[in-house]
Structure 1
Amino acid sequence: MFDIIHCPLRLKADPTRVVVRPFHIAFTPEGGRVRRIADYVLGLDEKAAGEELELVLRDFDLRHWQTRNVFNARYAQIEAGLGLDGASLPETKKQLIGAFFCHEYSYAAAALMNPSIVPHPDQTGMSHGAVRIIMSLRAVGEGHISSVAFREGILGPGPVFELMSEPPFATAADSAIELDQGAIEIHRHRDSSLSGTVLFPMTEAQRNGLEDLRLVQFDHEDGSKEWLGTYTAYNGTQIQSELLRTSNFRTFTLAPMTGPAARNKGMALFPRKVGGKYMMIGRQDGENVFLISSDRIDDWGEGQLLLTPKYAWEQVQIGNCGSPIEIDEGWILLTHGVGAMRKYSIGAVLLDKDDPSKVLGRTEVPLLSAAHEDREGYVPNVVYTCGAMLHGDHLFIPYGVADSSVAFGFVALDELLAGMK
């Protein structure tokens, strides 16, 4: 077995983390409930409307950032459908109407899991051996809807990890702009920190969730860097692999990927081109690991079979656990394996640096597996990560436990390589 340095920190589901979301009531030709609510507010005199708004603010203003502005923005979204002229309405009534069409959503009430990690774009002020990081998390709330949350922190010096404190308020990235081919652009709220930002489903293909973001810092051939992430969009019946792109974690584009491989989940992008090609690890058949190359970063074919189940702890299925990590000896690819009783484990393989289709080594035993103290939760007997990070002479692995919480561990790189056959 491997000697894992476990961090005492554990992140868990937290129903107190709430954001304001639109509360959708369908418009009908006759107006229906939407019209009735608006007419009720319009029929109030200004004093009564002010008193009703103050009651709402008394309950919710301290729980959210700029609550009145949120209500104003929601009113603006439904104004045309109501046939109203906002210019002639008092601010109090617009805010009260907006409040009736909002609700609180506890985005991580059910589960917090499946993290990935990348270096932060801003490394100013870091001491020698320390790295500022960004971690993505899959947060699950009411209706089992998945969203993407972020946390910032610092690694090192040495095998040490510290998270920055969460801000008191969480805000949803919004201002969605439709682009070509089903893509959208969304923006982090200008006053929100990244650790307080949540990315929610925005398109019909994403309606039931953004699942398992695998972030990677991508080095382009011109020397520029971009932060990319593959994830699964789920609409309740179908899945689709999509790609998140950002250069600053303030503006994000979310776009569907095309090609046969994009019909499944669990795709992980290499952090640079290899041999002039974009490279991806996939799991098109839900059982084995494939290597895919492409001339385009958004279109992926079937690829070639790379790994099949070999050991008992991975006989049911194997898949990747995030993007390959480049070291002098090649590419480290973390894998997940599922064995008897659907028990999950995390292992690793070493791929050739110039030809990743060549497997140079493979761990016979897992780095991590669902242990007795880490088996209970929403989905028992699961350990899973969407991406680790090399830090000095250690590999830092944030990982989900039982689809319920997130734990953290370090493994020495030389020990990992020595444990491969």
Structure 2
Amino acid sequence: MKKAVDISTFISRKSILLMRDSSRVITRAHIPGGGLSRVDHVIDRVLKLSEEEADKVMHTICDKFNDRHKDIERQITEHFDNVSEFLPHDITISKIKKVLIGAYFTMEYSIESAALFNPSMIPHPDQSNLPEDSLRFIMSLRATGEGHISSIVFRSGVINKDDSIYFDAISEFVETSKMRHNPFYDSHLFRRKLEDLNAWDETSLRVMEQIPDRFTFQELKVSIGVLHMDPDFSCNDKVITTLFWLANSNYNIQFNESCPVSERVIFPYSENENRGIEDARFVKFYNENDESIYYATYTAYNGVSILPQLIETKDFLSFNVITLNGKAVQNKGMALFPRKIKGKYVMLSRQDGENNHIMFSDHLHFWHESKIIQEPQKPWEFIQIGNCGSPIEINEGWLVLTHGVGPMRQYSIGAILLDLDDPTKVIAQLDEPLLTPNEEEREGYVPNVIYSCGGLLHKNKLIIPYAMSDISSGIATIEVSDLLSCMNYNKQEQTT
């Protein structure tokens, strides 16, 4: 065995600290509890105000909230649209009262009031106008607010030639974007996903027969409606629910080009993620033609169960959210390799919540089999191990950051090296953690945790963004050659 070197002499923590900021707020629809009758009561009270009284209240709202949101009136009006069906049909309402009604059904939500953590880093799609050997990056982070609802936020910056790291100024505003159904759904792919969900029967067959190969959400609704009206056919209501669920879970969000990266928030939209979008692992993926696209796997949480999902984007302005299917799509921590290997997509995973697995697939959306490649062996990882983001390709192999959970539920970051051509083979691993929580990092919402969702290679240096006890984030760096020198190589892989 190759003698291990003390890795603590090589790792360097930057002075950068990314902290939660409770002043970063979005607007959300707010429907008070107690039934729909309360909606009627609130609307009735606003309608009884004189125009002068309504205008006075609206001016007070604008004075208090204009400097916290871009175009607050537009956002409030959207929430008016949510309740407009409850208005009397025989009256004309002024614009002021429409906006004021919207304000009563609007609330602010501080997206990162609880935590800003679990970062991943990828190269920015725009590398223009940079000094030589500098790299512009995007960092994704998990932001958590009231009720422990998680969303994805972004930061951007530059790694300079001397390895100094600078972040761009953070906008004082944050914005969500409206969910839009996919412009078109592919009927063949839609059917495969229905089959995988055990929802392919006579009902789904009849629905899909009536729509074209590329269909819209509206065409799907019409086909379902027509089937419901057939007196000679009894619909499977569970399958109908699954049809709508599948369509609603595959959607697009679009941000305006004028919206800086740090203003963009991917907030939970679909039913299966309404309690949080957790731990996005972004990767820059290259296809066979060397064209790139960005993917991210994340954990969708609905308050009861979790489900891995996929995001794809080319520019971090338009994002497609896609369901992943297959019996191997379970648990947390799926991480996609940055290219195909021998014609197949490859993904790291942790189906059993304990070991590191690997999966191969002909189709990015479907994953059916997994294989264990690493089990807990060291005391600092006896509870469980998992990945800390997508593998990074270097000449020596696939470099994978891992996490291990040890006594007192302490999380540490480790590393393994996989064979380039056969990533089921672990070539080498660290015997000791790369990072463990120090005294300053161990205090937080969840104590004694160090965690990452993906590092970045710059020249020969590994940049590791990491979370500290589920509350804030920092950055550490290490030369790849130093990291490799600290690894123990498996006997059959030992080099001279």
Check whether TM > 0.5: yes
Say whether 1:194 aligns with 2:261.
Answer: yes
Pick from 5, 9, 14 the counterpart of residue 12 of structure 2.
5
Contact 1:176–1:202 (CA<8 Å) still a contact in 2?
Answer: no
Say whether 1:150 aligns with 2:154.
Answer: yes
Matched residue SS, 2:252: strand
Distance 1:353 1:41 in 2: 66
**Which residue of 2 is the match for residue 73 of structure 1?**
78
- Which string of whole-angstrom CA distances, capped at 9 and with x for unpartnered residues, describes residues 356-384 of structure 1? 11111111111101122211110011000
- Which string of whole-angstrom CA distances, capped at 9 and with x for unpartnered residues, describes residues 31-62 of structure 1? 51111111222222222111110111111111
**Which residue of 2 is the match for residue 141 of structure 1?**
145
Which of the two has higher C-alpha Rg? 2
Pick from 411, 415, 433 the counterpart of residue 348 of structure 1.
415
**Which residue of 1 is the match for residue 54 of structure 2?**
49
- Which string of whole-angstrom CA distances, capped at 9 and with x for unpartnered residues, describes residues 259-292 of structure 1? 1221211100001101100000000000000010
- How do 1:215-234 and structure 2 match up within 5 A? 215-234=282-301
- How do 1:373-384 and structure 2 match up within 5 A? 373-384=440-451
Pick from 132, 135, 140 the counterpart of residue 128 of structure 1.
132
Distance 2:320 2:156 in 1: 20
Distance 1:225 1:390 in 2: 17
Gaps of 5+ in 2: 1-5, 186-245, 489-496
**Which residue of 2 is the match for residue 313 of structure 1?**
380
> Percent sequence identity over matched residues?
41
User: How much has 1:25 moved relative to structure 2?
Assistant: 3.7
- How do 1:295-374 and structure 2 match up within 5 A? 295-374=362-441
Matched residue SS, 2:376: coil
Moved more, 238-247 or 76-85: 76-85
User: What is the identity, as a one-letter code, of the residue corresponding to 2:145?
Assistant: G
Aligned length in residues: 418
Q: Classify 1:115/1:84 alpha carbon distance in 2 versus 1 (closer, same or farther; 3 Å).
A: farther
Say whether 1:114 aligns with 2:118.
Answer: yes
- How do 1:213-292 and structure 2 match up within 5 A? 213-292=280-359
**Which residue of 1 is the match for residue 199 of structure 2?**
none
Matched residue SS, 1:296: coil
Moved more, 323-332 or 89-98: 89-98
User: What is the identity, as a one-letter code, of the residue corresponding to 2:394?
Assistant: I
Contact 2:332–2:351 (CA<8 Å) still a contact in 1?
Answer: yes
Distance 1:173 1:358 in 2: 42
Pick from 64, 68, 78 the counterpart of residue 63 of structure 1.
68
Matched residue SS, 1:69: helix
Pick from 38, 47, 71 the counterpart of residue 43 of structure 2.
38
Contact 2:40–2:86 (CA<8 Å) still a contact in 1?
Answer: no
**Which residue of 1 is the match for residue 22 of structure 2?**
15
User: How much has 1:26 moved relative to structure 2?
Assistant: 6.3
User: What is the identity, as a one-letter code, of the residue corresponding to 2:432?
Assistant: V
Distance 1:147 1:285 in 2: 25
Gaps of 5+ in 1: none
User: How much has 1:7 moved relative to structure 2?
Assistant: 1.2
Q: Classify 1:176/1:335 alpha carbon distance in 2 versus 1 (closer, same or farther; 3 Å).
A: same
Matched residue SS, 2:116: strand
Contact 1:105–1:142 (CA<8 Å) still a contact in 2?
Answer: yes
User: How much has 1:190 moved relative to structure 2?
Assistant: 5.0
User: How much has 1:27 moved relative to structure 2?
Assistant: 9.2
TM-score by length of structure 1 reads 0.96
User: What is the identity, as a one-letter code, of the residue corresponding to 2:82?
Assistant: Q
TM-score by length of structure 2 reads 0.82
Q: Classify 1:307/1:81 alpha carbon distance in 2 versus 1 (closer, same or farther; 3 Å).
A: farther
Contact 1:116–1:215 (CA<8 Å) still a contact in 2?
Answer: yes
User: How much has 1:221 moved relative to structure 2?
Assistant: 1.6
Matched residue SS, 1:406: strand
- Which string of whole-angstrom CA distances, capped at 9 and with x for unpartnered residues, describes residues 45-95 of structure 1? 222111110111111111111111111222123323445589x43221111
**Structure with more of its chain in strand, by fraction:** 1
Q: Classify 1:45/1:394 alpha carbon distance in 2 versus 1 (closer, same or farther; 3 Å).
A: same
Distance 1:60 1:13 in 2: 21
RMSD of aligned residue pairs (Cα, Å): 1.6
Q: Classify 1:376/1:150 alpha carbon distance in 2 versus 1 (closer, same or farther; 3 Å).
A: same
**Which residue of 1 is the match for residue 212 of structure 2?**
none
User: How much has 1:159 moved relative to structure 2?
Assistant: 2.1
Contact 2:312–2:321 (CA<8 Å) still a contact in 1?
Answer: yes
Moved more, 36-45 or 133-142: 36-45
Distance 1:24 1:231 in 2: 28
**Which residue of 2 is the match for residue 211 of structure 1?**
278
- Which string of whole-angstrom CA distances, capped at 9 and with x for unpartnered residues, describes residues 96-124 of structure 1? 11111111101101111100011111111
Matched residue SS, 1:93: helix
